[in-house]
Structures are given as C-alpha cells and as structure tokens.
C-alpha cells in the first residue's frame, strides 16, 4: 500500500501527519491523520482511534480536539480517519446528514451508496492494515473513541470486536439510531428497510445483547442541542440493566461543540492510556 504524505508537523515533541492512499474498500482516495508521540521513536506505541461526526473530515478533531498534548504525555498514537468516501463519482445528498461526510460507519448495500460507502470495512479492516504496516504502532493495544456519529461508530465497533479494542469511550454519541432521525433516515438509505440489518449498528441494542468486557466511558453535554436525537437515556438504561461497568456522565452546561470535546479530551486520552498500558 503506497502512502502519499500530505503534511507532517512537529507537535508536542511528536509528529502530526496527514496521509492519502487508494482504498480498496471505498474505491476512492482516502485521507487520514496520524499523531505519533515522542515515544514512537523508541518502538511501537498504543493506538487510540478517533472517529469524527457528521460533516467532519480527518481534520476537525486533529485541529480542534486538543488531543495531541495529552497523547504525547501518555505515549499513545492518535488516528483520525475521514467520515466517508469523497470525490468525483461518489454519491452525495444535499442534506448534511446523508452522503459525503455522513458515512455512519456502515457498509451500504443500497444504490447509489453501495459502490463506495463501505466505512465499516474501511475503519475496521483496511485502514488498520495500512497504519500498522506503515507506523510504529502496537496492534495489541488499541482503544477507540469518537464524537456524535463517531461515538456511535466507536461503540458499535468496539462491542462487535471486543477482542481487538481494549478500551472504548465516546463524546455525545448517537446511542439509539434505530429509534432516532439520526439513524432511521441513514439506515433506510444505506441498508434498506429491513430493520434486522440496522441492529448491529445500534449501541443501545448491542449493549443489551452483548455489552463490552471492559469499562465504558461516555461524556454527554446536558445542554446539547441534539439530545433528542442522541438519546443518552436509552444507552444509560441499557447499561444499568446489563450492569455494564463504566460511566455515562451528563456534563452541566455543555453543548455538542468541540468546546465540549476539548474540555474532556484529557480525561478520555489518559483513561484510554491507563487501559492500553
């Protein structure tokens, strides 16, 4: 796999890079970012995946989340994938919550999305192969987190592949998409009307059915303007019923923005670092 280096910048003693490659999963060029802490100069380091939300690219969290300082201190790498395929010939929609920028971390089966919108395969299978072959990363020490749509992706991926991810957290995740307009619309478009195909991509349903073998950390702004779409109460009830170890913290006064994500990023990065050590 040939990587094209788009940029590399020194950051807190490590390196923040942006790279592009041809993806077999999506059939497009895909761009992603990797932060390597100073410890990576001495050998493989643990990995924290960060999945972004609606309308985002790899760049939003890379520049707005403020994660690099804490990753450098903890000695862990950060990986920021894109949220969807992009480019000429890739299906799109005028709405911000469907199409490019809104891949929802699923493998689409319906036209016109099926040829390129295979973000589950890209994030779970293809991109890990690329980064572990290209950077000094510890394949046995992976955690995953994300914001909003990315929090949905992080939770569903981790609960589906607990053998791969030692830790999982989320910022304001879409927790019950089969019962939300942020989910039903996209799942109908990408996966069709058979709701059985939606179930593997609903964190609340996965929590009821299988949970996660480790602890789970979730932060949610209590003043989030999208609370009715995110449905944190659904996941909280599922966690309580299952007696899932972990925390779902409602943070007073915080909204859905990256100001919220920045505020609690240190908590999440260091929490993952403890579990990946």
The active-site residue, picked from 224, 234, 268, 272, is 224
Nearest to 159 by CA among 120, 119, 193, 203: 203
* Cβ-based neighbours of 218, under 8 Å, separated by 6 or more: 151, 169, 170, 171, 173, 232, 235, 246, 247, 248, 249
Q: Of residues 23, 52, 84, 148, which has the active-site annotation?
A: 148
Q: What distance in Å separates the CA atoms of residue 93 and residue 206, rounded to the nearest whole number?
A: 29
Instruction: State the distance between the two ends of the chain, measured CA to CA, in whole angstroms.
Output: 29
Angle at 200 between CA 96 and CA 243, to 5 degrees: 110
Q: For this structure, is 224 an active site residue?
A: yes
- The pair of structure tokens assigned to 93 is 């929609």
Measure the CA–CA gap between 121 and 211, rounded to whole angstroms.
22
Nearest to 231 by CA among 240, 220, 243: 220
**Matching residue, tokens 């799109």:** 92
Question: What does the alpha-carbon distance between residue 104 and residue 174 come to, in Å, rounded to a whole number?
Answer: 10
* Residue 132, token pair as written in the block: 């572990």
181 is catalytic: no
CB-facing half-sphere around the CA of 132: CA atoms within 13 A: 16
Of 58, 116, 147, 256, which residue is the catalytic one?
256
169 is catalytic: no
Cα–Cα distance between 144 and 105 in angstroms, integer?
A: 13
Contact of 204 with 238, CB cutoff 8 Å = yes
Residues marked as catalytic: 148, 224, 256
């Amino acid at each position: 796999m040939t990587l094209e280096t788009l940029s590399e910048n020194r950051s807190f003693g490590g390196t923040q890079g942006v790279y592009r490659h041809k993806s077999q999963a999506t059939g497009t060029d895909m761009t992603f970012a990797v932060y390597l802490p100073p410890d990576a100069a001495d050998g493989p380091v643990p990995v924290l995946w960060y999945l972004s939300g609606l309308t985002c690219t790899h760049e939003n969290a890379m520049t707005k989340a403020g994660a690099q300082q804490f990753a450098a201190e903890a000695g862990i790498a950060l990986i920021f994938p894109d949220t969807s395929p992009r480019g000429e010939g890739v299906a799109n929609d005028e709405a911000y919550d469907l199409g490019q920028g809104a891949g929802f971390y699923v493998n689409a089966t319906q036209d016109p999305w099926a040829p390129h919108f295979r973000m589950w395969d890209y994030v779970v299978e293809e991109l890990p192969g690329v980064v572990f072959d290209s950077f000094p990363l510890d394949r046995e020490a992976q955690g995953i987190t994300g914001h909003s749509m990315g929090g949905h992706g992080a939770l569903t991926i981790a609960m589906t592949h607990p053998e791969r991810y030692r830790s999982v957290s989320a910022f304001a995740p879409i927790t019950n998409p089969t019962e939300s307009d942020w989910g039903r619309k996209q799942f109908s478009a990408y996966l069709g009307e058979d709701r059985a195909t939606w179930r593997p991509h609903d964190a609340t349903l996965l929590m009821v059915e299988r949970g996660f073998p480790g602890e789970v950390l979730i932060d949610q702004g209590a003043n989030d303007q999208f609370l009715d779409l995110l449905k944190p109460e659904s996941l909280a009830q599922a966690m309580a019923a299952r007696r899932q170890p972990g925390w779902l913290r409602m943070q007073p006064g915080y909204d859905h923005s990256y100001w919220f994500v920045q505020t609690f990023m240190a908590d999440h990065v260091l929490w993952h670092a403890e579990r990946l050590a």
